[in-house]
Structure 1
Amino acid sequence: MISAKNISVSYGDNTIIDDLTLTLPKGKITALIGPNGCGKSTLLKALARINKVTSGEVLLDNKPLGRFRDKELAKELSLLPQVLVAPEGVSVRRLVEYGRSPYLSHWGKLSQEDSQIVMQAMQETGVNDLANQSVDSLSGGQRQRAWIAMVLAQDTSIVMLDEPTTYLDLSHQIELMKLMREMNNKGKTVIVVLHDLNQACRYCDHLVVLKEGKLVAQGEPKAVFNEELLRHVFSLNATVIQDPIADTPMCIAY
């Protein structure tokens, strides 16, 4: 379980997250949603110890993140950031192998178990046929699947994804959402930043709604996603109806 107690995050004199407290449910998919600039990605990176909190603390299983050694924390949680830059010419297989870095010995060699985990991650994400291709030669959807394979190879109980559907066409977005659900079905806690509100409601179990660096609401989509919330947080006039396929809330703007 990962939680934040009265955390604030600032860039210089600009406070992005302001005195925020929350606990994210274990074994669920949580979406961080809110308007642009509300602090979604900043919060995600604070939960992953990428951003330093200026006050308060982030806890993993009631232990402050600051007490974890780097390799120890990398075995507990993984983060797929927005900006993905692979070394020039690196193959898909090599990229996915980077996910095993926290487990390698001082010699840096993959064990047989490591290699099996890498192969399984590539199979689950459908990139095993691309193993020998360079990452920079792939399409956007293929490249995103390769990066997710790397995250899967890291084999952490908590997976964090920062706007993973950005630059993907609709079919690849849905493919990614289904892959996220598959990860969750295997016991992983998933925390994802999303812009598409209907995708967040359909594929996620828990919503965390932010506005101007503050927590506005959290809970199951059916409990918190409504027309008043859309007006207050997103300045959006919309009707909320029931998704006829997923039986989850969906909004239609007008």
Structure 2
Amino acid sequence: MITTHQLSVSYGKETIIHDLDLAIPEGKITALIGPNGSGKSTLLKTLCRINKSFEGELSVLGKPIKSYPDKELAKHISLLPQVLTTPEDITVRRLVEYGRSPYLSYWGKLSQQDHQKVDQAIEETQIQDLVDKKVDALSGGQRQRVWIAMVLAQDTPVVMLDEPTTYLDLSHQVELMKLIQKLNANGKTIIVVLHDLNQACRYCDHLVVLKSGKIAVTGAPESVFTESLLKDVFDLDAVVMADPISNKPMCINR
């Protein structure tokens, strides 16, 4: 669905991503993990063309990403960024409606289909009781659900999320990761940047492990999440064992 060949990304004279060859599996949840500064968020922003300056090849559905007009690309890929700025004094429903922007006509009026997509996104994220509230009056967990509803209203086959669990308490993190699994079960290809390694293993199907802007390893958590990987990439002395609930690998510090 999304592939790169010899992809490199630089900021000024500093190269952040080095000659990356990558294939994102369709219909899976892929986690981008790695230490701070390894290039996770830079890679995600490049895969959805927020970062437009890069060298090498980057294709979406078999077409070079640079060949897509902005509105057409926005019908294939949606992004929930790490830093979110809420428009002042906006209601939940109005914010979710922004997700339909790529489909609006010149006059910018929502069609019946647009309203149906908004209603569906609100239902999937279970925020029906919040639709008339102001977004800036919500809790962090509620607000994150509203932003995800906006992304869902965009109705793209690929959904990208940049550190979506940051600043959420543990119960809301679990709730959000289960929602991501539900979206995937409904047919979405998910690419998510995560810091919590155990969350990445428990909730994701495919790991892309980055170290200093290069791929250390990719594959299913059961195949690639090892004690030697943790030591080499994260400088972490840990034991890897099976999660007693999910049977996925998990790590515990020695």
TM-score (norm 2): 0.99
Q: Give the drift of 1:54.
A: 2.8
> In 1, distance between residues paired with 2:180 and 2:137?
24
> Which residue of 1 is the match for residue 100 of structure 2?
100
Q: Secondary structure at the match of 2:183?
A: helix
> Which residue of 2 is the match for residue 223 of structure 1?
223
Task: Please list, as runs of the form range in 1=range in 2, the aligned pairs for 1:96-245 lying within 5 A after superposition.
Answer: 96-245=96-245
> In 2, distance between residues paired with 1:186 and 1:170?
25
Q: Secondary structure at the match of 2:21?
A: strand
Amino acid at match of 1:95: L
Q: Secondary structure at the match of 2:144?
A: helix
> Which residue of 1 is the match for residue 8 of structure 2?
8
Residue-pair matches, total: 254
Q: Give the drift of 1:57.
A: 1.9
Describe the superposition over 1:187-227 as per-residue Cα deviations: whole angstroms up to 9, x where unpaired: 11000000000010010000000000000000000000000
Q: Secondary structure at the match of 1:10?
A: strand
Amino acid at match of 1:210: L
Asked whether 1:67 is paired with 2:51, we answer: no
Q: Secondary structure at the match of 1:38?
A: coil
> Which residue of 1 is the match for residue 35 of structure 2?
35
Unaligned 5+ segments in structure 2 are none
Q: Give the drift of 1:127.
A: 1.4
Q: Secondary structure at the match of 2:3?
A: strand
Whether contact under 8 Å (1:8, 1:53) holds in the other structure is no
TM-score (norm 1): 0.99
Structure 1 ranges of 4+ moved more than 3 A: none
> In 2, distance between residues paired with 1:157 and 1:195?
24
> Which residue of 2 is the match for residue 90 of structure 1?
90
Asked whether 1:76 is paired with 2:59, we answer: no
> In 1, distance between residues paired with 2:53 and 2:22?
14
Whether contact under 8 Å (1:47, 1:58) holds in the other structure is yes
> In 2, distance between residues paired with 1:126 and 1:36?
33
Q: Give the drift of 1:119.
A: 1.2
Describe the superposition over 1:55-99 as per-residue Cα deviations: whole angstroms up to 9, x where unpaired: 102101221000001110000000000000011011110100000
> Which residue of 2 is the match for residue 17 of structure 1?
17
Describe the superposition over 1:2-41 as per-residue Cα deviations: whole angstroms up to 9, x where unpaired: 0111111111111110111110100000000000110000
Q: Give the drift of 1:107.
A: 1.1
Amino acid at match of 1:245: I
Amino acid at match of 2:129: D
Unaligned 5+ segments in structure 1 are none
Amino acid at match of 1:185: A
Q: CA RMSD in A?
A: 0.7
Percent identical: 67
Q: Give the drift of 1:53.
A: 3.8
